[in-house]
Amino acid sequence: MSGYLPAGAIFESDAKLGLADFVSSSLMRGTQMRTFDAIYNELESVGASMGFDSGVHNTSFGGRALVEDLPLLLGLLAESLTTPTFPADEVEKLRAQLLTGLAIRAQDTMDLASMAFERMLFENHPYGRPSDGFIETIQSITRKDMQEFHRLHFGPKGMVVAIVGAIEPEKAVEEVGRVLGNWHVPGQAGKQELPPHKPVKKTVKHHNTIAGKSQSDLVIGMIGPRRRDPEFLSASLGNSVLGQFGMMGRIGDVVREKSGLAYYASSSLNSGTGPGSWEVNAGVNPKNLKKAISLIENELRRFVKSGVTKAELADSQANYIGRLPLSLESNGGVAGAILNIERYNLGLDYYQRYEGLVKNVTRADVLETARKYINPDRLVISTAGP
């Protein structure tokens, strides 16, 4: 079982950053019917599991159980979503855990480099804020804030549930209707629209100094396509060549394998509802930081100048097509695929069309997409270390 509902960090104020995450983490800490211990005892007694998470747009949930225990799983899901009580003692225990995590984050070079990168790339935009908040914002959140956030944003409007397993679809729908069909939330807040994003006009850099560290982490990148944009697949295949396929693609080859400058080096395309990031990440010896940045910038210039070779594209296409059946071998993989179809409105036949979509991407498509999104003179460069 997987799903989501529109109750993410996009609804938070700057003063209460981390509120959606705090709320989602508290949903199973106690309800009107069960205590924290009782909820987990119910799950463990049948070998089931369930949990919640949050992101910018949504609070997501997932769980697994034997088919005969699906009613129990869905019942606990409904209970956690509709009647959480946010017990004061459990909220304070969770607050202490969150604050400990934030203290650890403040000494993590990778986390700090990524946070500064997102802040610069998405300046004055919801995507530029950390969804887990800051120490001062987590300290300021009250039970009343959590109850109010739950009242306003948790409801059936916009909720999606995917169930995969040895159960007839009609029976699964019936079970969901039984536990959630009468859930009504008058005044549930509507979908929050993203504000327009302003791209950077020149390369911007930031270094976050953390004393005593033996490694520096860097993030270099720019805005990438949305998941629904027509050039998403050409960007994704191009990114595979740039910094994913094999030993982390060209980036891994030039920075790590040939030059020996990095502990790790790769690129990633992070596409979703709104504008995503197209970024290169690497961890290096601090004395090699400037040289690694230079090599990555040169590789990006080469990428937008000449694109990918015929063999590189063919290898990536074969990889994409070949791994699709593997991703659908598990119930969780199928549930995730269904949610992607729904979340991004890809069409129910998307995975039937997938092989053709991948094969139709040409070298010219990859080059055109690279030139549209990657400007080596307008990069965001974030580093953290000594």
Check whether residue 172 and residue 226 sit in a common domain. no
- Residue 375: φ, ψ to 5°: -120, 105
Check whether residue 267 and residue 154 sit in a common domain. no
Q: Is residue 375 part of a domain?
A: yes
Q: Is residue 73 part of a domain?
A: yes
Please state the pTM of the whole predicted model. 0.93
Return the number of other C-beta atoms located less than 10 Å from residue 326's C-beta: 9
Q: Is residue 199 part of a domain?
A: no
Check whether residue 175 and residue 215 sit in a common domain. no
Model pLDDT for residues 89-137, shown as the tens digit of each residue: 999 999 999 999 999 999 999 999 999 999 999 999 999 999 999 999 9
How confident is the chain (386 residues) per 10-residue block, as mean pLDDT?
96 96 98 97 97 96 97 97 97 98 96 97 95 97 97 96 96 96 91 87 96 95 96 97 87 88 92 94 94 96 96 96 95 96 96 97 98 96 97
Q: Is residue 247 part of a domain?
A: yes
Query: 382 Cβ partners below 8 Å, 6+ apart?
Result: 113, 114, 116, 117, 120, 205, 206, 207, 208, 218, 219, 220
Q: Which domain holds residue 312?
A: 204-385
Give the pLDDT of residue 132. 95
- Strands 380-385 and 204-209 come out as parallel
Check whether residue 287 and residue 143 sit in a common domain. no
Closest CA to 10 of 191, 271, 272: 191
Return the number of other C-beta atoms located less than 10 Å from residue 232's C-beta: 19
Q: Is 223 helix (H, G, I), strand (E, B) or coil?
A: strand
Q: Is residue 305 part of a domain?
A: yes
Check whether residue 20 and residue 105 sit in a common domain. yes
Q: Is residue 345 part of a domain?
A: yes
Check whether residue 175 and residue 208 sit in a common domain. no
Check whether residue 259 and residue 324 sit in a common domain. yes
Whole-angstrom Cα distance, residue 239 to residue 280? 10
Check whether residue 108 and residue 229 sit in a common domain. no
Closest CA to 263 of 315, 329, 216: 216
Q: Is residue 69 part of a domain?
A: yes
- Residue 298: φ, ψ to 5°: -65, -40
Check whether residue 322 and residue 239 sit in a common domain. yes
Hey, which residues does 268 pair with through a beta bridge? Answer: 279
Hey, which residues does 59 pair with through a beta bridge? Answer: 5, 54
Q: Is residue 196 part of a domain?
A: no
Check whether residue 251 and residue 380 sit in a common domain. yes
Whole-angstrom Cα distance, residue 4 to residue 191? 13
Check whether residue 163 and residue 284 sit in a common domain. no
CATH number at residue 175: 3.30.830.10
Contacts 24+ apart (CB under 8 A), 294-297: 295/254, 295/255, 295/259, 295/261, 296/218, 296/220, 296/251, 296/255, 296/265, 297/220, 297/376, 297/379
Check whether residue 215 and residue 342 sit in a common domain. yes
* Cα–chain center distance at 357: 24
Structural domain count, the chain: 2
